[in-house]
A and B are shown apart, each in its own frame.
Chain A
Amino acid sequence: MTGITIAGGTGPAGRGGTGRATKAPPLRPQNRQLAILLVLLLVAIPLPLILPSAQGAVAVRILIFLLMAVGWNIMSGFGGMFSFGHAAYFGLGAYTSAYLLVEHGVSPWIGMLAGMAVAAGVAVVIGYFAFRYKLQGAYFALATFAFAEMLRLIVTSTEFTNKAVGFSVPLIQGSSLWKIQFAADSPAYFWIALALAGLAGAASILFLHSRSGRYVTAIRDDELAAASLGTPVMRHKLMTVALSAAITAVAGAFYTQYYLFVNPDLAFGSSVSIQAIATVVIGGIGTVWGPVVGAIIVGSLSDVTATLLRTPPDFLNFLQGRSGLDVALYAILLILIVRLLPKGIVGTAMARWRR
Chain B
Amino acid sequence: MSNIGNQKGAALAPDAEAPGAASPRGKAPHPLRAALGGGGNAAILKRVAIIGGALVIAIAVALLKSGSGLVVWQSVVTGLLMGGLYGLIAMGLTLIFGVLDIVNFAHGALLAVAMFIAFGVVQGTGLHPYLTLLVAVPALFLIGGVVHRGLLSGTGGGSLENQLLITLGLSLLLENGLLMFFGAEPKTVTLPGDFQFGLFGAVVTGARLYAFVGALLLGALLFWLLRRTRFGTAIRAVAANGPGAELVGINVRRIHTLTFAIGTACAGAAAVLAAPLITVTPTLGEQFNITAFVVVVLGGMGNVGGALVGGLLIGLVEQLTTIYMDGQSSLLGVFVVFVVVLFLRPQGLFGRRA
Please report A residues at the B interface, Cβ cutoff 8 Å: 82, 84, 129, 133-139, 141-143, 145-147, 149-150, 153-154, 156-157, 270, 274, 277-278, 281, 318-319, 322-325, 327-328, 330-332, 334-335, 338-340, 342
Q: A137-B9, A339-B156 are in contact. Are A328 and B180 (CB under 8 A)?
A: yes
Contact indicator B162/A274 (Cβ below 8 Å): no
Write out, one digit per residue, whether chain B residues 90-109 have a CB within 8 A of any chain A CB (1) or not (0). 00000001000101000000
Chain B residues with CB under 8 Å of A146's CB are: 290, 293-294, 335, 338-339, 342
Contact indicator A323/B11 (Cβ below 8 Å): no
Give Cα distance in the complex from A82 to B11, angstroms: 17
| 8 Å CB contact of A277 from B165, B293, B331, B338 | B165
Contact indicator B97/A138 (Cβ below 8 Å): yes
Contact indicator B164/A331 (Cβ below 8 Å): no
Give Cα distance in the complex from A138 to B93, angstroms: 13
CB of A345 to closest CB in B, whole Å:
15
Contact indicator B343/A138 (Cβ below 8 Å): no
Please report B residues at the A interface, Cβ cutoff 8 Å: 9, 11-12, 97, 101, 103, 151, 156-162, 164-166, 168-170, 172-173, 175-181, 183-184, 282, 286, 290, 293-294, 297, 301, 325, 328-329, 331-332, 335-336, 338-339, 342-344, 346
Contact indicator A270/B103 (Cβ below 8 Å): no
Contact indicator B301/A324 (Cβ below 8 Å): no
Contact indicator A150/B151 (Cβ below 8 Å): no
Query: What residue in chain B is nearest A281 (Cβ atoms)?
Result: B165
Is chain A's binding surface mostly helix, strand, loop or mixed?
Answer: helix
| 8 Å CB contact of B173 from A135, A281, A319, A335 | A335
Q: A82-B161, A129-B343, A270-B286 are in contact. Are A139 and B12 (CB under 8 A)?
A: yes
Known: A277-B168, A278-B169, A334-B169. 13 other contacts (CB 8 A): A129-B343, A135-B342, A136-B9, A136-B11, A138-B97, A138-B164, A146-B294, A149-B290, A157-B329, A324-B177, A334-B168, A335-B173, A338-B166
Give Cα distance in the complex from A342 to B346, angstroms: 30
CB of B120 to closest CB in A, whole Å:
15
Give Cα distance in the complex from A175 to B85, angstroms: 55
Query: What residue in chain A is nearest B172 (Cβ atoms)?
Result: A331
Contact indicator B157/A133 (Cβ below 8 Å): no
Contact indicator B172/A157 (Cβ below 8 Å): no
Contact indicator A331/B290 (Cβ below 8 Å): no
Query: What residue in chain A is nearest B167 (Cβ atoms)?
Result: A335
Give Cα distance in the complex from A136 to B342, angstroms: 11
Contact indicator B176/A324 (Cβ below 8 Å): yes
Chain B residues with CB under 8 Å of A342's CB are: 156, 158-159, 162
Give Cα distance in the complex from A324 to B161, angstroms: 25
Contact indicator A328/B177 (Cβ below 8 Å): yes
Contact indicator B176/A325 (Cβ below 8 Å): yes
CB of A141 to closest CB in B, whole Å:
6
Give Cα distance in the complex from A154 to B12, angstroms: 29
CB of A325 to closest CB in B, whole Å:
6
| 8 Å CB contact of A84 from B156, B164, B297 | B164
Chain A residues with CB under 8 Å of B180's CB are: 319, 322-325, 328
Q: A139-B342, A157-B325 are in contact. Are A322 and B183 (CB under 8 A)?
A: yes
Chain B residues with CB under 8 Å of A331's CB are: 169-170, 172-173, 176
Chain A residues with CB under 8 Å of B282's CB are: 324
Give Cα distance in the complex from A106 to B75, angstroms: 44
CB of A144 to closest CB in B, whole Å:
11
Give Cα distance in the complex from A293 to B12, angstroms: 37
**Can you give 24 A-B contacts (C-beta < 8 A)?**
A82-B164, A133-B344, A135-B12, A135-B342, A135-B346, A138-B101, A138-B103, A139-B9, A142-B342, A149-B335, A150-B332, A150-B339, A270-B286, A318-B181, A322-B183, A323-B179, A323-B184, A324-B176, A324-B178, A330-B172, A335-B169, A335-B170, A339-B157, A342-B159
Chain A residues with CB under 8 Å of B332's CB are: 150, 153-154, 157
Give Cα distance in the complex from A2 to B176, angstroms: 66
Query: What residue in chain A is nearest B327 (Cβ atoms)?
Result: A157
Give Cα distance in the complex from A338 to B332, angstroms: 33
Query: What residue in chain A is nearest B160 (Cβ atoms)?
Result: A137
Q: A134-B12, A274-B168 are in contact. Are A328 and B173 (CB under 8 A)?
A: yes
Chain B residues with CB under 8 Å of A156's CB are: 329
Give Cα distance in the complex from A318 to B342, angstroms: 45
Contact indicator B97/A139 (Cβ below 8 Å): no
| 8 Å CB contact of A332 from B169, B331, B335, B342 | B169
Chain B residues with CB under 8 Å of A270's CB are: 286
Chain A residues with CB under 8 Å of B160's CB are: 137-138
Give Cα distance in the complex from A142 to B338, angstroms: 10
Query: What residue in chain A is nearest B171 (Cβ atoms)?
Result: A331
Chain A residues with CB under 8 Å of B293's CB are: 142, 145-146
Query: What residue in chain A is nearest B102 (Cβ atoms)?
Result: A138
CB of B347 to closest CB in A, whole Å:
10
CB of B163 to closest CB in A, whole Å:
9
Contact indicator B169/A141 (Cβ below 8 Å): no
Query: What residue in chain B is nearest A328 (Cβ atoms)?
Result: B176
Give Cα distance in the complex from A271 to B170, angstroms: 13
Query: What residue in chain A is nearest B6 (Cβ atoms)?
Result: A138
Chain B residues with CB under 8 Å of A339's CB are: 151, 156-157, 166
Give Cα distance in the complex from A153 to B164, angstroms: 24
Q: Which 10 A-B pairs have the closest CB atoms?
A: A324-B179, A324-B176, A331-B172, A331-B173, A334-B169, A328-B176, A335-B169, A138-B103, A150-B335, A157-B328
Contact indicator B179/A136 (Cβ below 8 Å): no
| 8 Å CB contact of A334 from B172, B176, B335, B346 | B172
Chain A residues with CB under 8 Å of B325's CB are: 157
CB of B183 to closest CB in A, whole Å:
6
| 8 Å CB contact of B331 from A134, A138, A153 | A153
Contact indicator A274/B176 (Cβ below 8 Å): no
Chain A residues with CB under 8 Å of B343's CB are: 129, 133, 135
Give Cα distance in the complex from A135 to B342, angstroms: 8
Contact indicator B297/A142 (Cβ below 8 Å): yes
CB of A160 to closest CB in B, whole Å:
14
CB of B53 to closest CB in A, whole Å:
24
Contact indicator B170/A338 (Cβ below 8 Å): no
| 8 Å CB contact of B156 from A322, A325, A328, A340 | A340
Chain B residues with CB under 8 Å of A154's CB are: 332
Contact indicator A327/B162 (Cβ below 8 Å): no
Q: Which of A278, A319, A327 has the most chain B CB within a 10 Å cutoff?
A: A327
Give Cα distance in the complex from A146 to B103, angstroms: 14
